[in-house]
Amino acid sequence: MTTSRNDAALIAVDWGTTNLRAYLLNAKGKILDHRSCPGGVMSVQDRNFEAPLLSVVGEWLAQAKLPLIAAGMIGSRQGWREAPYLPCPARIEVAAQQLTAVPFQDSQGQSHQLLIGAGVQCVDDSGLHDVMRGEETQLWGSDLSDGAVCILPGTHCKWAWMGKAGEIQKFRTYMTGELFALLTKHGILGRLMKPGQDDLAFKRGVLLGKNDSAHASHIIFSARTAGLMGTLAAESLSEYLSGILIGLEIGSSLKMTGALPEQIHLIGDDELCMRYAQALHAVDIQAVRSQSEATAGLWKLAQAAGCMKVSSP
């Protein structure tokens, strides 16, 4: 481990809302070491972003001066410095020319800079702005083929339509994860729910959401009436609601594009991707799990920016 650390060429930082994950990479993108802490953007006190960053990367920086590159909510308005949003279609080569450098000092008073990657924006057919921050790096780090459609499930789930050579042609955000959490934790729907699994109820929700996507705030209420009327058990209601919300994404994307492809790629957390695969299966779409190492996109970005540390010969 100590030997390989001498090859260190880059520190890649995945800095989101709740977590800060840092990776020590060699020039080929291999992970030599990694550290994390719960120092996400929302938990940082008095805008002291140095503190959580140094707590994870301080030891690495004490051994060698290394470039640091980051993506995620750290570049948002609530983050350390607001990094720009690149317009779609968006390519990694352009992002590499627009890194936002934030200078900081380590505990020895040495100067460093964190290079924050840009987010991506697009405007939909109704003139609405949409934004992503962090997901673009996952897309660029993946092995998606030209023309692929990819879903990145999460609090604010993203559907991305890829162009050629890793270009993000357009994308669309759905508030699925946040709506599910709000409705079940703070709302009246949660009161009738009991923990449980029910694949059929989930599928029923998916089909309903897809077919009746024009009636979202009405059909969501059926997760209450199905409980009141006993058409679904308390243990099935949460699965049903989850299905409805994912089905709404499918219905909306279908209405927007006229047709969905035979297969859709999934990037993200295993459990969430399983759930989306199940939903896609219910509407006869093949789900393909795409690889995207957390560090691959950041490493490619650093490489395109030419900011990797060059090892001494």
Q: 150 with 144: CB under 8 angstroms? A: yes
Distances from the Cα of 69 to the Cαs of 47, 179, 306, in angstroms? 19, 32, 12
Q: Is the peptide bond before 89 cis (omega within 30 degrees of 0)?
A: yes
Residue 64: alpha-carbon gap to chain centroid: 30
Per the CB < 8 A criterion, the answer to whether 52 and 20 are in contact is: yes
Smallest distance, its own copies to C-beta of residue 218, A: 5
**Under a CB-based contact definition with an 8 Å cutoff, are residues 160 and 152 in contact?**
yes
Residue with tokens 């980051």: 70
* Residue 66 CA, distance from chain mean position: 26
**62 token code pair:** 């004490």
Least CB distance from residue 246 to its own copies, whole Å?
10
Coil, strand or helix: which one is 226? helix
Q: Judged by CB, which is closer to its own copies: 77, or 262? A: 77
Q: Which is nearer to its own copies, 141 or 251 (CB)?
A: 251
Question: Which one, 182 or 200, has the nearer CB to its own copies?
Answer: 182
**Closer by beta carbon to its own copies, 119 or else 141:** 119
Residue 168 beta carbon to its own copies: minimum distance, rounded to whole angstroms:
16
Minimum distance from residue 76 beta carbon to its own copies (Å): 8
Shortest Cβ 182–its own copies spacing (Å): 4
If you ran DSSP here, which 8-state letter would residue 186 be given?
T
Question: Minimal distance in Å, beta carbon 47 to its own copies?
Answer: 16
CA–CA distance, 271 with 248 (Å, rounded to integer): 19
Least distance to its own copies, CB of residue 95, Å: 18
Instruction: Evaluate the CA torsion angle 259, 261, 262, 267 in order and state its sign.
Output: negative
Least distance in angstroms from the C-beta of 20 to its own copies: 19
Of the two residues 70 and 226, which places its CB atom closer to its own copies in the complex? Answer: 226
Nearer to its own copies, 183 or 302 (CB): 183
> Helix (H, G, I), strand (E, B), or coil: what is residue 17?
coil
Binding residues for its own copies (CB under 8 A): 77-78, 121, 124, 126, 128-131, 155-156, 172-176, 178-179, 182-183, 185-188, 191, 208, 211-222, 225-226, 228-229, 231, 245, 248-249, 251-252, 255-256
C-beta closer to its own copies: residue 106 or 130? 130
Alpha-carbon distances of 118 from 74, 154, 254, rounded to whole Å: 10, 20, 29
**Beta strands in 92-247, from DSSP E residues, in sequence order:** 100-105, 111-116, 119-123, 129-132, 149-152, 157-162, 168-174
Nearest to residue 290, comparing CAs of 186, 148, 163, 181? 148
Nearer to its own copies (CB atom), residue 58 or residue 177: 177
